[in-house]
Chains A and B, each alone.
Chain A
Amino acid sequence: MKLNLKIYRYKPGSEPHYDTFAVEVPEEANVLDAIERAWDDHDRTIMFRHACHHASCGSCGLRVNDVEKLPCVTPVSDYGDGATLKIDPMRNFPVITDLAVDATPIYQRMQLIGMPIIRQAETIRSDGQMILPDGIERFGRFENCLECGLCLSACPVMTTDPHFLGPMTLAAAERVLQEPRGADTERIYQLIDDEHGLWRCHSSFECTEACPYEVDPGAAIMRLKRKVFVHKVKKLFGMA
């Protein structure tokens, strides 16, 4: 397949601009393969993050035609032969160079919550089936979160409030409150019930749309709003 990659370029001290590269990749290639082809064949100064190539490290997040994507699992066939793909870095992050953003805000936020959840090994029966805890499906699989930051990039609130905890962090908070495992839940409630916390979310659900692993942070935030509301009412009447 032939593609034109219109790649965002920025080097400290210079003006941002786009460079377009014509590349040819197999039909089964993903967008990351195409970017690597541009790097390999045309310009070795193109900077971009990547590691695992199979959506488990979460380091390659960027925007393809303005939509947040993990390019390692985004097939070029989605765009068709001869297409022009505009490749931009994630929104709402400082750009170090080209497509590489400063991902520090992702990790700082997750540290505040005290994630990750460390799952205990699930018992495997003799027939190979796992014995899962009752009602596990209700937890929405937050453990699938890659911490790729695509939800922070897609969130319109992050645009104007750089201190907003953001979808990923709030979804993590909801997960911790569902199953605290000894966590200081009052600290979590204080952290999220803040001007830069839960109530900043305007429910556009762009985070849910951007999430490559169906973590559905938007729904988690809505459940969290209800939980915090109930918690505050209980506290008001001395019941919490």
Chain B
Amino acid sequence: MSAEVKPKPADRSPGQWFDVRGRRVGLWAYVVMRLSAAGLVLYLFLHLGILSQLAQGPAAWDGFVAIAKSPVILVLDVVLIVGMLAHGLNGLRLTLIGLGIGIPRHKTMLWVFLALTVLLSALSALAIFAETK
């Protein structure tokens, strides 16, 4: 007599996407791509919510400007720029290698685009906070 042995199914929870233990830089880029995409979608709804205040007429304008200039929103603006640059530039890298351009240098491209993200984000943050002084 033989008994059937049922294997334990593989863990297929989406949380596995974010398990970076033992992974290399490519998975970090993969995780950043997903988090920045979710963040950008959330920001879009937040943005539309705040903009909808203007539908109340000119009287709502001052309140809108006050919210837009609040430190929390300014910090969120910087986070938005970081997210846009990280997602956009990595997306450009993925498009290029997907078209067969620069495949052997995909890691170098990642580091260059990461450096660009940091540099442009820092410049943007300086510009945003300098303007509010």
Contacts and interface: CB of A to CB of B under 8 A. Distances in A.
A209 B98 contact: no
Q: What class of interface size applies to chain B in its complex with A?
A: 20 to 34
Nearest to A95: B8
Interface of A: 10, 12, 16, 63, 65-68, 91-97, 101-102, 154, 156, 159-160, 162, 202-206, 209, 218-219, 222-223, 225-226, 229
A237 B46 CA distance: 44
Leading 8 A-B pairs by shortest Cβ distance: A66-B22, A94-B7, A226-B100, A204-B26, A205-B26, A67-B22, A204-B30, A159-B16
A223 B24 CA distance: 22
Interface string B95-133: 001111001101100000000000000000000000000
A162 B7 CA distance: 15
Contacts of A65: 22
B47 interface: no
Contacts, number: 90
B94 to A, nearest CB: 5
A156 B99 contact: no
Contacts of B94: 202-203
Given A66-B21, A206-B24, A226 B14 contact: no
B33 interface: yes
A101 B6 CA distance: 11
A139 B64 CA distance: 60
A65 B33 CA distance: 25
A88 B128 CA distance: 49
22 contacts: A10-B8, A12-B5, A12-B7, A66-B22, A67-B22, A68-B22, A95-B7, A96-B5, A102-B7, A154-B23, A156-B17, A156-B27, A159-B14, A160-B14, A162-B10, A203-B98, A204-B27, A218-B26, A222-B100, A223-B103, A225-B98, A229-B99
Given A204-B27, A204-B30, A206-B23, A226 B12 contact: no
